[in-house]
Homo-oligomer: A and B are copies of this chain.
Amino acid sequence: MREKGADLARPTVHDIAKEAGVSLATVDRVLNARPGVRAKTIARVNDAVSRLGYVRDTYAANLARQRQYRFAFLLPESSSQFANALQEALQEAYSSNVADRTELKVIRVPSQDPHAIVRTLKSMNTSRLDGLAMMVPETPQVRDAVSRLKDSGLAVVTLVSDLPNSRRDFFVGVNSIAAGRTAGLLMGRFVRGPGEILVVTDSLQSRDSLERRLGFDAVISREFRSITALPTLESYGDLARLQRIVETAVAARRDLVGVYSMGSGNMTLMSALRGSGRLGELDVLVHELTPAMRCALQDNEVTAVIAQNVGHLVRSALRVLRNVCDHRPIYEAQERVRIEVVLRENLP
């Protein structure tokens, strides 16, 4: 925003030099924190900077400095539609103007195999890389690997799923407890009358699922006394097992009113529910807006999807990585990823 009567053009380093009464070289030394300037002079330059409201032209700077950001994204290899959506969003962020002077590399690893993840992390050529964003399950070995990556100077952010107590620089994703609470609130408000809720996930070993369940239960038990959330069914990543346990549960529980899926495998879940013939009487809530879930929403098979915008995720991750690389601060408020509620009528 421009002040009235202010100069039209924004000030450059030359203006700073003039204003501070020093040479261009000195301004440059101060701005880039190079040694050989007295504290008094540094203050003079900084004064001029704030007086004129100078902000460095980052693009000109990166141009001159031949800055190249080399980032890698570590995503699960599973056929998960969500990871594919992330990769697409990355591609898009890259081809649109956002990702300038940035080289991206996507590495897919089998997410069930912590060993493979660690192997990949260890084998990374850190000298040809400036930053890493990763979406991996939490294990102590991964935490250690992150520590080594930080030692070699990489910027590291966790994506979607965090690694608490690790040395990662930042977490880009949503708060799983809040996501679970949102699901709980929606479920409680949507379902009619007393009844039971089926809760399904891959594995409660995963922190995300655990936290979603925590949030879900907190809201349900405090505010919706008439409905009961059943113990979590775990598929352990086995789709056949998922189909089986869902079919069994639906058959056994006659007063089921809703289904909450905290993990992946939603296509299989839906097919099991369809098979049961009771889909019409159930409110189904799932996470992540995949193409299959879009259709399910449109067909009224799923009531709501709790989603996070993959575009935001990758742009945020890129911004954070760049800022960490340049030792610039991170604007936490801007990087907070929203918990989106997607219904049939507000499908993007």
Contacts and interface: CB of A to CB of B under 8 A. Distances in A.
Given A1-B105, A59-B59, 20 more contacts: A1-B94, A1-B104, A2-B103, A8-B68, A8-B103, A9-B68, A57-B63, A60-B63, A178-B345, A179-B346, A181-B345, A189-B189, A190-B190, A215-B345, A219-B345, A338-B340, A339-B345, A340-B340, A340-B346, A341-B346
B2 A331 contact: no
A8 B181 CA distance: 46
A216 to B, nearest CB: 10
A339 B334 contact: no
Nearest to A90: B1
A96 B331 contact: yes
A91 interface: yes
Best-surrounded residue of A58, A90, A92, A339 (most CB of chain B within 10 A)? A339
B182 A346 contact: yes
Given A97-B58, A340-B338, A340-B340, A104 B345 contact: no
Contacts of A106: 1
Range, interface on chain A: 35 or more
Interface in A61-119: 63, 68, 90-92, 94, 96-97, 100, 103-106
A44 interface: no
Question: What is the copy number of this chain in the assembly?
Answer: 2
6 contacts: A1-B104, A2-B104, A59-B59, A185-B344, A336-B348, A341-B343
A186 interface: yes
Contacts of A58: 97, 100
A179 B63 CA distance: 44
Interface in A127-178: 178
5 closest cross-chain pairs (CB), A and B? A59-B59, A339-B346, A341-B341, A181-B345, A182-B345
A185 B186 CA distance: 13
A263 interface: no
Contacts of A309: 338
A345 B187 CA distance: 12
A179 B96 CA distance: 28
Contacts of A92: 334
A334 B96 contact: yes
A221 to B, nearest CB: 14
A184 interface: yes
A343 B59 contact: no
Best-surrounded residue of A105, A186, A338, A345 (most CB of chain B within 10 A)? A345
Contacts of A8: 68, 103
Best-surrounded residue of A91, A103, A346 (most CB of chain B within 10 A)? A346
A184 B343 CA distance: 11
Interface in A175-210: 178-179, 181-182, 184-186, 189-190
